[in-house]
Structure 1
Amino acid sequence: MTDVLVLVGSLRAASTNRQIAETAVALAPEGVTLTIHEGLADLPFYNEDVDVEGSVPQAVTDLRAALTAADAVLVVTPEHNGTVPAVLKNAIDWASRPYGAGSLNGTPLVVVGSAFGQYGGVWAQDDARKALGIAGANVLSDVTFAIPGSVVRFAELHPKDDAEVVEKLTAVLEGLVAATRAA
């Protein structure tokens, strides 16, 4: 069994990226379980003064434990002002500590997502890949998927009902699982 933790860079319940994450969960190949981590909204902003034994908030402990237990990570993110949403960057900061022994070390990871613009959030995805790689993840830079024009494209269509999304998301999951099993 392969366990994949899914981090969604949007807190909005009806966000397209949340819908894409839910679609990925439904598309999980046999022998693979995808679980969306629900605690990103509960993480306080990273503060090294708080990140000491006995003071680490429970939401941080939960995130770190979920990341450590996962065989792989799928990040699904929108783009906010041309870069990574604050909630996702904050989660990366917490996951990267303690330095050199963070909860992402060596974990195969893929970043995908959608945004309103014509490039589908590639700037945010590139920035997320960079930060996650520095945080220790084994970022699969050759497994990508950016969906442009999300507001229009998914105005009346759920991503699970979009044949291109299903096809490409299935390929992303196959690439992530293959990398996990090769590790």
Structure 2
Amino acid sequence: MRRSILLAATLITAMAAAPARADDVSDAIAAAQRAYQGGKVQDAQTALQEALQLLAQRAAAALAAALPNALPGWTAEEATSNTSGMTGLFGGSTASRSYRNAQDQMVEIQVMSDNPLIAQLAAVMANPMLAGAMGRLVRIGEQRAIQSNDGNIQMLVDNRILVQVQGDAPPEAKMAYARAINVARLSGR
């Protein structure tokens, strides 16, 4: 209960600092505040969980927006995004997009953020010797990445966003797509 109250105070403070505008997130936070002030702690907690889920959905949509358009000679499917609960083994937000060329070769980019498993991978990728054991170290812009023998790429952004570029296309195509990702948008810069 104390955790819910602290979370409510934090969310309300954050929203007060943001420009005032009506949206689903601020409506859920306002409902939580009204419920809390009315002594309905369970309703306040539910409304705060709704606000957190709505924020997670926005985060997932932002991940999808960072995925590149099709490169010349390729077509792209629509980007998809999803969010899991904030608790559990596979929480966090995900987005993915697939690309195909005229030879029916495929590249898929998957992005995952704020997942507990990413923290474990971050420790490995932070150590060049361990990361090198997983594949060839490469640079994609300012990011260190690992490219496996089949050309698949794993890149960690801000130690909380995992980018995976994979598929049956040649390694050069996977690298071109990795370089086309809007890393600044992923990290919120």
TM-score band, normalised by shorter chain: under 0.3
TM-score, structure 1 normalization: 0.26
TM-score, structure 2 normalization: 0.25
The higher relative CO (CA closer than 8 Å, separation ≥ 6) is in 1
More strand by share: 2
Structure label with greater radius of gyration: 2
